[in-house]
Amino acid sequence: MENKYNLKSPAVKRLMKEAAELRDPTEHYHAQPLEDNLFEWHFSVRGPPDSDFDGGVYHGRIVLPPEYPMKPPSIILLTPNGRFEVGKKICLSISGHHPETWQPSWSIRTALIAIIGFMPTKGEGAIGSLDYTPEERKALAKKSQDFCCEACGCSMRSALLALTPNSNPSAEDDKAKELAQQINFKAESSVSRQASESGGAESEPSTLAQGDASTSAGQEASEGSQAEEAEESPATGIEGPRPSTAPSTGRPLSPRQRRAQQHSQQVQRDGREPASRPLFAPTPRQPHDESNAGSVVLIVVLTLALAALIFRRIYLAQEYKFDYEL
């Protein structure tokens, strides 16, 4: 690998360093570049304990732009998990969808910790997000251990160090949560913007585009990512039939249904306002009614006054007329 890349390139220098830093798997995360492409990495993260993802180990890709670390990495999950869509770029301020908040001093490790911290947060219609039920997520967490990645030859059962009771996950967890909160804070505003425009439908083309971007840096990327794409589709296929088992929950099942639901949620939200008003009605309504009555009285009085004036005018005019005629 050393001969293939320009070691003077800041991105190469940095990625080499990060690859060394992340060489050994930890109990919570592991990531390494693909053998033939320094600009595409595969990672595994452990689902945070005390969440629906407890016991799950999830796999995904990280695509790095040639400008890294000045531009953010893109993160794509490959294991069905119920929180992030499979095969689509994740919408965190840390990933490529919010380049404006990426910080060059963040690293791939930062991104991994952010993903872990972000898993238990609500999707709320952000791009690449899913809001499956806890049961579905737990089932997927169990199943996630069976996942084997053909591209990097990684099996989820052995991807990470085993959790031991003496291992100290709390410090890691706190770090992850803290980071996720920071990121969440910024994501909130952009998420709401996207939600209002109806979040959803991220598409393969952008993933491909990202793949292309990295091709300019590492020639072999396109082949790699094509194989990737082909491999992703069966993964989505697995996801396909499951939803039909629990349609009664009314949970987002496929992207299409999810959007339909979002739509209806929006409608609900619109409808919710008048529905919630009666709760507050007794107190605020009284003054409201009073002022209503007051304005009615005012209108009546003014109308009467106006009428009186008009009548007087007519009367006076007619009197003059009478005078003339007489």
Which one, 210 or 225, has the nearer CB to other proteins? 210
Which one, 14 or 143, has the nearer CB to other proteins? 14
Which one, 51 or 207, has the nearer CB to other proteins? 207
Distance in angstroms between the alpha carbons of the first and the last residue of the chain: 119
Residues that bind other proteins (CB under 8 A): 9-10, 13-14, 17-18, 21, 69-70, 97, 99-107, 109-110, 127, 182, 185-186, 194, 197-203, 206, 255-257, 259-260, 262-263
Q: Quick one: residue 286, left, alpha or beta (phi over 0 = left, psi -120 to 50 = alpha)?
A: alpha
Q: Are 206 and 96 in contact (CB under 8 A)?
A: no
Q: Would you state the structure tokens that stand for residue 115, as one six-digit string? A: 């993903």
| Catalytic annotation, pick one of 91, 149, 152, 154 | 91
DSSP symbol at 47: P
In whole angstroms, the minimum distance from the beta carbon of 15 to other proteins comes to 11
In whole angstroms, the minimum distance from the beta carbon of 59 to other proteins comes to 24
User: Which of 125, 113, 114, 108 lies closest to 39 in space, CA to CA?
Assistant: 108
Q: Would you state the structure tokens that stand for residue 287, as one six-digit string? A: 């003054």
Our answer to whether residue 148 is catalytic in this structure is: no
Q: Would you state the structure tokens that stand for residue 317, as one six-digit string? A: 């005019």
In angstroms, the CA 59 to CA 157 distance is 11
In whole angstroms, the minimum distance from the beta carbon of 51 to other proteins comes to 24
Which one, 6 or 158, has the nearer CB to other proteins? 6
In whole angstroms, the minimum distance from the beta carbon of 127 to other proteins comes to 7
In whole angstroms, the minimum distance from the beta carbon of 157 to other proteins comes to 30
Q: What is the maximum span of the chain, computed from C-alpha positions, in angstroms?
A: 121
Which one, 181 or 249, has the nearer CB to other proteins? 181
Q: Would you state the structure tokens that stand for residue 119, as one six-digit string? A: 């898993």
In angstroms, the CA 227 to CA 75 distance is 17
The enclosing H or E element of 74 equals strand 74-77
In angstroms, the CA 78 to CA 251 distance is 21
User: Which of 77, 68, 158 lies closest to 116 in space, CA to CA?
Assistant: 77
Q: Which residues are annotated as catalytic?
A: 91
